[in-house]
Amino acid sequence: MIKLLAGIMLAWNVFAVDKTAFSGSKFFYYDSADRVEILTDIYKQTKSEYALWEIKKKRIGVDGDKVFKDAIAKELQIGDVTTPLLQSRANLDYLSRVKETIAKFQDTHFGMNPVISAPWVLTGLDTKLVEGKILVTGFYDKVIQKTIQMSDDGATIASIALGDEIISVNGVSAVENAQSFEKYVDGSSIGFRKNQAGGYVMARYFAYPTKPYADVEVKIAKTKKTVRVRLPWYASDNTKRKDALFYFKETGFPSLADLRIKWNAKLRTWEKDKSLKFRGSNGAGLPSGAIELENWKSAATGGSTIVRSALILKDAKAYGFLQVNSFSVRELFKAEEKKDFISAIRGAVKYFKEQDLQMILDIRNNGGGNGNFPEQVLSLITEEGKTYQNTTWAKRITRYVRQFIDYYLTDELYREISNEEFWQEMIDQIYVAVSENSNHTPAITEGVVEADKLVGGYDKKIVALISPSCISACDIMSMLLKDSKRATLIGTTANGTGAGYWSNDKLSTNFEDRYHIFKTNIPNSLFGYPGAAGTAVYGADSAYELNSENRPVIADVEYIQTKNDFLNDSEDWIEKAIEVLKAE
């Protein structure tokens, strides 16, 4: 009996958790043990399933083991705190540190988000990095108007206009301020990290300010004078994070909740209105002077523009303008009409062909989506009789990927992820890689791209506008255009991603840590540049050699967006596009 009891006690000690459930009285406080366990979970899952684990080390010197071990060691050095105010701030700082840790992998596709979302804080100004300066590129009018009403600097704040330059924030230059946020950005290229960081100077959801206001210097373009104003940091109310709500209330951050109403004059009553009335340029609008033909949106009522076609007139000549803002929406709407994504683009290309128009293809702000759409778009603009090489794909051999084999025949997973023939080839290569103890399959391709039969070939000149905000499937589109030389690319670079997700409800890439504090999708599939013609399966190291991660497509003609582009709806972009079309 004594031996039996001793065995039971030993087993109990092995599985006991030396951790109280009462950490934090007003909210769940992440103490040192929690923080380390959460990071350990993320570390194990990332190393186990992340498709780019070895590639990152070889290509850009990011050693995943060191990244996580350093982060865990740092948490062990940070002591626990006891008061609710300190605990609330400690929680928010931990969210930022984890974001910084994952950002070290320099992958736009791989970020770590709180399960209960982190709230934004904002001043009412929208900023971007433009020509090496931090410029005001938009306003949240409700926020700014509230600040003007309650501030002694109201008249000065009201004089700030689009295009004015932010000189400094709390005595630190605005450019340096932006640079300090680059380490938090999940970005596959330096251009993307810099651009994103420029937008965090006056609005962000991490690295929260410690004071509820910012002292800002602004150079007013109209008067050429520099003014100094104090802008409140407004805390977002659309969060369920009790730690954040507690911290913002206790430290005096004004809430956006007071601004989410509007007056209904007809009913003479106040109503809820979530909009903060943004005014400014996001680069995805109709270019200056363009005549819109069709505007296909993501929803029947409202929604965002996904595919837009227009005419641009210059020196008595017309050019076709085709803007594709996403590859993620399959079904599009225009008033009462409905079309699938490819049909909407096909209609525009056919019209340009009938009118004998050269084309400006705008994919600058395309955040990606379905990786099979780019080859179909290339098909729509391919000349009759021509063929072009397709994208390449590969797999890192993980336990997750090996399960594809188990599900392949029983659940016909390929129907949800890819076509049957390509899926069979990938499964075959997974078998080969496993049998040879190889970390990766070779890169394989889905074949060649031919001209769409319904368009019948489009042979006019094309320029394509790209930027670091051309992400994921848009990277693939850029690669196909670059490799085929079907379009002259104008801009700087695309984003530079090279890994995505092959996933469904049975084999999900979703991840949450044991305490459900963080969640993410871990990229499990590699993609990259087209390979040599006439080959379906490439060499042993082709998964690395052809992979596009951190190797963004570089534009054929460099163009850096200007202040005028933000003030006048991409006017200089279009001027450059027409200049290139005329020169070819």
Task: Determine the pLDDT at residue 416.
Answer: 52
% of the chain exceeding 70 in pLDDT: 92
Q: Inform me whether the pLDDT recorded for 113 exceeds 60.
A: yes
Task: Determine the pLDDT at residue 263.
Answer: 81
* Torsion, CA 371, CA 356, CA 565, CA 296, rounded to 10: -50
Task: Determine the pLDDT at residue 403.
Answer: 75
Return the amino acid letter for 279.
R
Task: Determine the pLDDT at residue 337.
Answer: 94
Higher pLDDT residue, 322 or 17? 322
User: How far apart, in Å, do the first and last CA atoms of the chain sit?
Assistant: 92
What's the whole-model pTM score? 0.93
Q: How confident is the model at residue 289 (pLDDT cuts 50, 70, 90)?
A: confident
User: Considering just the CA atoms, what is the radius of gyration of the chain in Å?
Assistant: 26
Task: Determine the pLDDT at residue 15.
Answer: 37
Q: Inform me whether the pLDDT recorded for 192 exceeds 80.
A: yes
Euclidean distance between CA atoms 393 and 568, whole angstroms: 40
Residues 6+ apart with CB under 8 A from 227: 156, 159, 160, 217, 218, 220
Which structural domains are found in the chain, ordered by start? 2-106 (no CATH), 121-280 (2.30.42.10), 291-583 (3.90.226.10)
Average pLDDT, the chain: 91
Q: What is the pLDDT of residues 50-66, one digit of tens each?
A: 999 999 999 999 999 99
Lowest-confidence segment of 22-36, 153-167, 446-460, 555-569 by average pLDDT: 22-36
Euclidean distance between CA atoms 382 and 459, whole angstroms: 7
Q: Inform me whether the pLDDT recorded for 106 exceeds 50.
A: yes
Residues 6+ apart with CB under 8 A from 289: 312, 313, 571, 574
Task: Determine the pLDDT at residue 207.
Answer: 98
Provide the edge-to-edge strand list for the sheet that holds 121-122. 203-204, 121-122, 234-235
Q: How confident is the model at residue 412 (pLDDT cuts 50, 70, 90)?
A: low
- Averaged pLDDT, 217-234: 97
Q: Which residues is 388 bridged to in the sheet? A: 449
Q: Inform me whether the pLDDT recorded for 3 exceeds 80.
A: no
Q: Inform me whether the pLDDT recorded for 273 exceeds 50.
A: yes
Task: Determine the pLDDT at residue 127.
Answer: 97
Euclidean distance between CA atoms 248 and 242, whole angstroms: 10
Euclidean distance between CA atoms 398 and 303, whole angstroms: 39
Element (H, E) at 489: strand 488-491
Q: How confident is the model at residue 6 (pLDDT cuts 50, 70, 90)?
A: very low
Q: How confident is the model at residue 406 (pLDDT cuts 50, 70, 90)?
A: low
Measure Cα distances from 381 to 359, 464, 529, 533 in Å.
Answer: 10, 12, 19, 20
Q: Which residues is 215 bridged to in the sheet? A: 230
The pairing of beta strand 317-324 with beta strand 359-362:
parallel
Output the DSSP codes for 252-289. TPPBGGGGSEEEETTTTEEEE-----EEE--S-SPPTT
Q: Inform me whether the pLDDT recorded for 274 exceeds 90.
A: no
Euclidean distance between CA atoms 313 and 309, whole angstroms: 13
Q: Inform me whether the pLDDT recorded for 382 exceeds 60.
A: yes
Q: What is the pLDDT of residues 440-478, one digit of tens each?
A: 999 999 889 999 999 999 999 999 999 999 999 999 999
Q: Inform me whether the pLDDT recorded for 407 exceeds 80.
A: no
Higher pLDDT residue, 264 or 91? 91
Instruction: Tell me the CB-side half-sphere exposure of residue 264, using CA atoms within 13 A.
Output: 8
Q: Inform me whether the pLDDT recorded for 13 exceeds 70.
A: no
Task: Determine the pLDDT at residue 266.
Answer: 84
Euclidean distance between CA atoms 460 and 570, whole angstroms: 23
